[in-house]
Structure 1
Amino acid sequence: MRKISARSAGIAASVVAVGLLLAGCAVPVDTTTPSADCTVPAAAAPAMGGGGGGGLPLSTTVAESDQSTSIVLDADDSPQAQCTGVELTEYSNVVFSEPVLDDGSTYLIRMDITVPQDVSGPVPVVVYIPGGGFIVSDRGGSIGNRSYLMEHGIAVAAIEYRTIGDGGTYRDGVADVKSAVRFLRANAADYGLDGDSIGLWGESAGAYLASMAGVTQGDESFDVGENLDVSSDVSAVVEEFGASDLTRIAADFDQETQDYYRETPDNFVTTYVLGAGTGETLFDDPVAAAAADPVTYIDGTEPPFLNYHGTNDTLISPSQTLLTHDALLAAGVPSTRYLVQGAGHGDLSFLGDPEGGRVWSTEAVLDPIVDFFVENL
């Protein structure tokens, strides 16, 4: 008898929920009625705790990084994005991949596909990849921001992916993103989607996976699972406050935080690259660290990128997105990076700042994302 695993039980209550953003829009469950109230209040995230990767350390300081190739964005006076209300069709709990986990169980990996109804012809679609510190992946995150994109005629497929909690590594996470793309392309007609117009949009850990999936197009080693007869290539990538060179994830931070990554074996970053229980850090295996760095794969064939980071991000150094952005530019790939003045790492309301994440749902931040996808999809 085949065992089915929906996800490792109990882990979600003990870890940080990173990248779960709120906006002025909400996806209605009733697909026959446009959304009436588009205001979503800020909500507290779970308390920070340990989990399979040893916790998520936060720095007390953030050093300024190079801004010469980026656009500094001050969103303090920008209004929250609002929805007018559109009719949507939502397909929930769609299984797009069935990998076998280390314990022999089969993980039914799911997505929720939401399609705006006021679009003529097949609808372009963006794969939303949530954050979660490589420990969890909640496809219900950032629902308001996703709604704002749907208001502009683009469907969203919110996915989950294998994490540390499932015994997964970054290679599994990237493979799951690519499996989601292949599923949508292979089944586009069933959902009214345009299989030739697919983009990626990731936050935090999801942004890292979006970057990796975007720069490894054509690398068959990451294409495993179902629907291998269709391509996992995408037309555009948006990554918000993601990582690149994981050995420098704390490069902009205080010494204590830098020492954590260098001296703490099996920290959450190391675990998602090397696997659990190695007794090492990424500094002990530079070859593996390089293989997990999106910059390693950039060769000029990548799709256009749009990158975001907050100047006051205390979880992932702002210079991380700069590494990817500058490497893309050097290779001749269209890339734009917004450095959001004073912004932190998404919605960190669990630290007592329930409004701090709302900068990420302003028109100043979301309108360029909408324009980017409209242009490239």
Structure 2
Amino acid sequence: MKALVLAPVLFAFVLGSLAVAEDARPQGQIPHSALLKTEGARELHDVPYVTGGHERQKLDLYLPAKNGSLHPVLAWIHGGAWEAGNKDFCPAKVLLAKNYAVVSIGYRLSQHAIFPAQIEDCKAAIRWLRAHAAEYDIDPNRIGVWGESAGGHLAAMLGTTGKMRDFDVGENLDQSSAVECVIDWYGPSDFAHYGNRPPNMDPKNAYARLIGGLPTEHLDQVKRSSPISYVQADAAPFLIMQGDKDPIVPAQQSEELDAALHKVGVESTLRIVSGAGHGGPAFVSPANIEAMSSFLDHHLLQSQSGAGQ
């Protein structure tokens, strides 16, 4: 298996600017490392994936130079507690050098619409990509997703609900919203069992704002917003990375999702990052970079039969 050639230097350089706690990174700031260009690449910004939709229902496309072949796709979903952050910062751009097409998905935040608007938007973006695959020389059968924190939660939702249509609304409904693989960086997975700190005590916390009120009063939303609720044998392969000192998302969330995937026979690898919190430099250690590179290469570069078929 060919590992990402640029992993030791360039991949680490770009990811290093991501690996900080998301509340410590200025929202909307694009570090110099994310501005790296690849010769012949094209960038298309603020492309609407919903006709006449909300200003957040747009995506950015980063396309490698045309080479006569279809490009596998990695979609990035930003974090920000479902109420902050944006698509401008896209660490996945480095994969242009490996002939990946890269997409950064914007989605409505909780102040714009409560759940399930966020996963409906992400699914609409994936369907839009498939509907426009020929236009952008992308392979509709090789689409993976990577997200951090709230984005990790949405990536996990995509990975576990690919074969169901409950969250598929709007346009391009003839297209699948399934993905080929998922990289989940410390995303919540089960809001009904949230360690020793259940997110149900404060109506002003981020999760309450996401689901429209206290979890104890919206149990249907708690189950509906938990990726673990949808785990079954046709889920996408997962690579889950989680800090064991995370003060925001307990490590138990990733451990239980990994166990649930294994129980139904789905490929899942859990990498507990020792000493790490909610992000941090340890996430981009050489070993973790190699694990991510190999995972993506295996499921997107080498795979020819995709989730969208």
Q: What TM bracket, shorter-length normalisation?
A: 0.7 to 0.9
For 2:233 and 2:22, locate their aligned partners in 1 and report how far apart those are by CA, in whole Å: 39
Tell me how far 1:286 sits from its aligned partner: 2.9
User: What is the CA-CA distance between 1:360 and the residue it aligns to?
Assistant: 2.6
**Whole-angstrom distance in 1 between the partners of 2:236 and 2:166:** 19
Superposed, which structure 2 residues align to 1:58-137 within 5 Å? 86-87=38-39, 88-98=41-51, 106-107=54-55, 109-117=57-65, 120-137=68-85
- 1:237 CA drift (Å): 1.0
Select the residue among 12, 15, 25 that pairs with 2:14: 25
Q: 1:83 to 1:248 in 2, by over 3 A?
A: same
Q: Is the 8 A contact 2:12 2:289 kept in 1?
A: no
Gaps of 5+ in 1: 1-21, 27-38, 49-80, 101-105, 253-257, 347-356
Whole-angstrom CA distance in 1 between matches of 2:187 and 2:227: 11
Percentage of identical aligned residues: 30
Q: Is the 8 A contact 1:214 1:237 kept in 2?
A: yes
| Post-superposition offset of 1:245 | 1.2
Are the counterparts in 2 of residues 152 and 370 from structure 1 also a CA contact under 8 Å?
A: no
Q: Secondary structure of the equivalent of 2:140?
A: strand
The residue aligned with 1:360 is 283
Does the aligned pair in 1 maintain the 2:76–2:147 contact within 8 Å? yes
Shift of 1:297: 1.1
Q: Specify the structure having the higher radius of gyration (Cα).
A: 1
Task: Give the distance between the partners of 2:19 and 2:208, measured in 1 at CA.
Answer: 32
1:236-274 residue CA offsets vs partner (Å, 9 max, x unmatched): 11110000112333x15xxxxx27x3421242112212x
Equivalence for 2:210? 272
| Residue correspondence of structure 1 range 290-301 to structure 2 within 5 A | 290-301=223-234
Looking at structure 2, the residues matched to 112 and 126 of structure 1 have their Cα atoms a distance apart, in angstroms, of: 12
Classify the secondary structure of the residue corresponding to 1:124.
strand
Structure 1 residues 241 and 363, CA, compared in 2 at 3 Å: closer, same or farther?
same
Of the three residues 82, 85, 96, the one matched with 1:150 is 96
Report the counterpart of residue 295 of structure 2 in structure 1: 372
The residue type paired with residue 133 of structure 1 is A
Conserved 8 A contact 2:22-2:79: no
Superposed displacement of residue 335, structure 1:
0.6
Tell me, in whole angstroms, the C-alpha distance in 1 between the residues paired with 2:97 and 2:76.
15
Q: Which runs of 4+ in 1 moved over 4 A?
A: 39-48, 81-85
Counterpart secondary structure, 1:164:
coil
Kept in 1, the 8 Å contact 2:62–2:93? The answer is: no
1:242 aligns to 2:175 (yes or no) = no
Q: CA deviation at 1:218?
A: 2.5
User: By how many angstroms is 1:321 displaced?
Assistant: 1.1
Shift of 1:183: 0.7
Give the secondary structure class of the aligned counterpart of 1:233: coil
Structure 1 stretch displaced more, 357-366 or 181-190: 357-366
Query: CA separation in 2, counterparts of 1:25 and 1:230?
Result: 32
For 1:134, what is the secondary structure of its paired residue?
Answer: coil
Is this contact kept in 1: 2:123–2:177, CA < 8 A? yes
Aligned partner of 1:217 among 154, 159, 162: 162
Q: Which residue of 1 aligns with 2:29?
A: none
Q: Which amino acid aligns with 1:221?
A: D
User: What root-mean-square deviation, in Å, do the aligned CA atoms of Structure 1 and Structure 2 show?
Assistant: 2.9
Alignment of 1:44-55 (within 5 A): none
The 8 Å contact of residues 22 and 80 in structure 2, kept in 1 or not, is answered as no
State the TM-score, normalized to the length of structure 1.
0.68
Q: Is the contact between residue 78 and residue 86 of structure 2 (CA under 8 Å) also seen in structure 1? A: yes
Q: Is the CA contact 1:295–1:324 (under 8 Å) kept in the aligned structure 2? A: yes
Q: Distance in 2 between matches of 1:133 and 1:124?
A: 28
Q: Scaled by the length of structure 2, what TM-score is found?
A: 0.82
Q: How many residues align?
A: 282
Inter-partner Cα distance in structure 2 for 1:318 and 1:359: 15
Structure 2: gaps of 5 or more residues = 1-10, 26-32, 301-309
